[in-house]
Amino acid sequence: MSLKTAQEYIDSLRTRKLNLYMFGEKVDNYVDNPIIRPSINAMAMTYKLAEEPEYEDLMTVTSSLTGEKINRFTHLHQSTTDLMNKVKMQRLLGQKTGCCFQRCVGMDAFNAVFSTTFEIDAKYGTNYHERFTKYLIYVQQNDLVVDGCMTDARGDRSKSPGQQPDPDAYLRVVERREDGIVVRGCKLHQTGMVNSHEILVMPNNSMKNDEKDWAVCFAVPTETPGIIYVYGRQSSDTRKLEANKIDTGNINFGGQEIMTIFDDVFVPWERVFMNGETDFSTMLVERFAGYHRQSYGGCKVGTGDTLIGAAKAITDYNGVYKASHVKDKIVEMCHLNETLYACGIACSAEGRKTQSGNYMIDLLLANICKQNVTRFPYEIARIAQDLAGGLLVTLPSAEDFDHPEIGPLVKKYTQAAGDNTSEKRQRLLRLIENITMGCGAVAYLTESMHGAGSPQAQRIMISRLVDLEHKKELAEKICGIQENSDINWK
């Protein structure tokens, strides 16, 4: 089997026994938990759209490893067209869910690990690439969700992994055995972790020669003994527990962030893809970060499309859309959103083939893309809040609208323009609230800021990748400081 249906995906989670905690309590049936289920629905959309003929070319592709039809989320990019289709697929899913659909991290990790293991083997004669290729074939043939896992706890961030007072601040190998390794540590901010079948762990940053224990890459099933999951809190998350779902804003979908603790977890050798090769840790980190920064030019744009649509609708309902300043503000939202998309497409179109055969984006343009993502969604959200008006944060609860005594009065004084009902206005305001300051803001705003690295991480990469001396030479030739050999005619 190469493709799961959405229902088969959800059913596959029911068989998994995870050591999961939320709000200080153990969670057994997490699939039907009202806090967690919206994030599962969002992930399931990556399967549902792959079933639909309308989206087949975007959501599915022929595997370069097996020749079988697979979900694009398990694919190794084989061309710049593949890279661009990835961004288009992510925008589509953002439009369909209005939130983080969580499956991108694994796809980005696959492509980074595939090319990096190839180059490690070329230098050291190891067999990591063969191991990883077999692993990825298994993932493709079973259409699994794999959570790419990078961000460590990091402790004192002024110190490298080997200098930490607590060596477990960065995930590390604590024992090497004949049959495998034992690892200990914690990975934070793990998007969609308990909605995944597998975990692909990567080092968090560059390692020094004496930090071999921290230069480790491996994969394990999510239900591996010794792994503890702690569910992350989000703004307004308990609204999902309420009977009337209108106040949640996004009534069907949501994101998920997990603290993932590895408490002496065993990993067999066939699942180990880096073991002490510190000189390749930077390559792996930068390649994964580059792919993931490209991703934000798709997923955040799709959510932006949803927010722009909500802003247009609420101004219609308020009877103010024809005002010139309202139209101009919505044009600005569109301009910012399409600029993000353009960056995602540009870094894809300028991609190149790696030594291993898969394609990597243009790293400079991918970092430019993510740098814009740290800013533009905040301005789009600000404009949406401006257009929504003060009722965005003073609207009574859904229970008040349903109350037999005060409900009719609440509806009367929140009636929208024309024949648009009070309930339509209520639902739109809650959606804008969700995306710009509620649960949805975790993915649309905070994730835009810190996901795939903080803004400063991109600026560091930009400073490394931009050839300023070349630009200086261009200017000096044009103004005559340097001889211009291009002028050779008489």
Q: Which residues are catalytic?
A: 100, 104, 191, 257, 292, 296, 299, 447
Residue pair 16/225 in contact (Cβ under 8 Å)? The answer is no
CA atoms within 13 A on the CB side of 306: 29
State the helix-helix crossing angle for 281-317 and 376-388, rounded to 10 degrees: 20
Residue 99 to residue 296: CA distance in whole angstroms: 12
Distance of CA 209 to the CA centre of its chain: 31
Residue 272 dihedral angles phi and psi, to the nearest 5°: -100, 125
**How do 60-62 and 69-71 pair as beta strands?**
antiparallel
Q: What kind and span of H or E run contains 17?
A: none
Residue pair 342/356 in contact (Cβ under 8 Å)? The answer is no
Give first-to-last CA distance, the chain, whole Å.
69
User: Taking the CB of residue 178, how many other CB atoms lie within 10 A of it?
Assistant: 5
Token output for 134: 């077999």
Token output for 130: 């063969």
Residue 223 to residue 260: CA distance in whole angstroms: 12
- What per-residue string of b and e applies to 215-244 under the rule 16 or more CB within 10 Å gives b? bbbbbbebebeebebbbbebebbebbeeee
Output the CA torsion 473→477→480→483 (10° steps). 100
Output the CA torsion 93→95→100→104 (10° steps). 30
Token output for 245: 């779902």
394 marked as part of a ligand binding site:
no
Residue 482 to residue 480: CA distance in whole angstroms: 5
Q: For residue 120, give the amino acid letter.
A: I
Token output for 333: 């939202």
Query: Token match 């803004």: residue?
Result: 455
Residue 74 to residue 63: CA distance in whole angstroms: 9
Facing residues of 21 across strands? 26, 230
Residue pair 291/151 in contact (Cβ under 8 Å)? The answer is no
Q: What is the DSSP code (8-state) at residue 199?
A: E
Q: For residue 101, give the amino acid letter.
A: F
Token output for 229: 């999951």
Token output for 211: 């930090």
Token output for 45: 């959309």
Which parts are annotated binding residues?
A: 191
Report the binding-site residues for FAD. Answer: 191
